[in-house]
Amino acid sequence: MHGHGDKILILDFGSQTTQLIARRIREQRVYCEIHPFDVDDERIRAFEPKGFILSGGPTGVYVQDAPNCSDLVFDLGVPVLGICYGQQLMVQRLGGKVQAAEHREYGRAKLEIIDEGRIFAGLRHEPGDVWMSHGDRVEKLPEGFQVLATSSNSPFAAVADPERACYGVQFHPEVAHTFHGEEILANFVLDICACKPGWTMASFVDHSVKAIQKQVGDERVICGLSGGVDSSVVAALLHRAIGKQLHCIFVDNGLLRLGERESVEEVFGRHFGMDLLVVEARDRFLQALDGVAEPERKRKIIGETFIRIFEEEAKRMKGVRFLAQGTLYPDVIESVNVRGPSAVIKSHHNVGGLPERMDLVLVEPLRELFKDEVRVLGEALGLPADVVGRQPFPGPGLGIRVIGPVCFDRLEVLRKADFIFQEELKSSGCLEQTWQAFTVLLPVRSVGVMGDERTYDETAVIRAVTSVDGMTADWARLPAEVLATVSNRIINEVPGINRVLYDISSKPPATIEWE
């Protein structure tokens, strides 16, 4: 863990915006990590934080069994910033009083800064909106504390004890709606904690390369390449660290998009010169999927077949001890339950769900990064823009975009139609504005006319959505002329499709994928 320079430790009390705090601090080029509120003293000391941030949380500090933190947080002598619940906990722990408020304050509030107190440096004369969300309030401040800011409903919207470098705010500086939230966090991290902004992708690469070399020694590592962003970046990073000790396995399951296999062979085999094994497994997947229409069963069959093939190939490679995976930081955090530290990584990761009996030790070099940081890392490692900027693609591939039974012919039809859609989105400049765009093939036939002939062919649905994180999504307002061109080209160039629909459902209630 060492080698990141100055570090901030964030203790998570269950707020939904804790991850945002970490993102904002990393934007200041300072390394930080999120740990459960009850992390033990040994871990805290080993981390050597230059400052603590206590996150918000859903409970009240006076509730029985309310989440608490170690005394060390206040005894280490480094600055502490409490946000919402974190502020109340700090006040209560240091001898003040907190109680339930008559009015819940939720949403925007006007902040009046009375005293800059370092944390509001440069912001005093700009009253602004902040994002509040709390049902409790501070009634009495501990000895040595003073009020820095108030809001209409909160006489203690921001407080501080400059001697002890303890700061508390009753609003969320990490959310986008908060006025100057970034500057407030930057003042805390860069000025009050005196962190040097040294955490860059270049420093991350150096740190990771050393860590990988140390973990792996002269052993060999296998990596399942899917062509997606995470597995591609893992492969590039490992290749830089251990070169020929890395063996990549790419399984062609016949459910890939047009040209996908060739592009993986081109980038990783030829351009990087990696040891890349391409397993030709189309027939095996199609046989396993024969006649299966139910989406969940398709997913299961595709996942299990993949794992079996991967296992067989891994066993053939004698003396491999390590398996590389693209686990990202949000997966690590999500799997650590705030109510008790239980680290269960979600099973669907990349190769995910690989059987225990493989006896391989995991190498997870991206487990400290957020998705957008992974893309920046990919660029730093020299991956081409179309790999780094690649849209999310489901593990089961086109297997879940062909609705109903999957067969070679329907996959070919979908591949061609999707290729046209992608091509037109690129050339019209619309691709950059979408989070995900793809084509679905429906087993719904309808009558059409081609020339003088009547046709009775299938229906293609095109879907394009905008989103920030995939949690919610809205359908993309693509220009009518782009939709028209896509529709004309698909119907004219792809035999088997005579109708094209555009999906205008949002998530929720719909999902992004159809299955």
Q: Please give the positions annotated as active site.
A: 84, 172, 174
Three-class DSSP category at 285: helix
Coil, helix or strand for 156? strand
Rounded CA gap, 173 and 184, in Å? 7
Provide the token pair at 436. 């995900």
What whole-number distance in Å separates Cα of residue 68 and Cα of residue 70? 7
Nearest Cα to 81, choosing from 206, 232, 154, 189?
189
DSSP 239-261: HHHHGGGEEEEEEE-S-SPTTHH
Q: Which of helix, strand or coil describes residue 314?
A: helix
Query: Which helix H or strand E contains 490, and what residues bound it?
Result: helix 480-493
Both tokens assigned to 51:
């400052």
The rounded distance, in Å, linking the Cα atoms of 409 and 413 is: 6
Distance CA 251, CA 470 (A): 26
Q: Are 147 and 141 in contact (CB under 8 A)?
A: yes
Rounded CA separation 161/488 (Å): 68
Q: Are 32 and 222 in contact (CB under 8 A)?
A: no
Q: With H, G, I as helix, E, B as strand and everything else as coil, classify residue 75.
A: helix
DSSP single-letter state for residue 14: S
Query: What value, to the nearest 5°, has the Cα angle with vertex 25 and ends 20 and 26?
Result: 95
> Distance between CA atoms of 4 and 46, rounded to whole angstroms?
13
Query: Can you tell me the distance from the alpha carbon of 254 to that of 212, in angstroms, rounded to the nearest whole number?
Result: 33
Q: Measuring CA to CA, how many Å separate 202 from each of 25, 295, 379, 433, 434?
A: 17, 42, 11, 28, 29
Distances (CA, A) of 109 to 135, 155, 170, 177: 14, 12, 11, 10
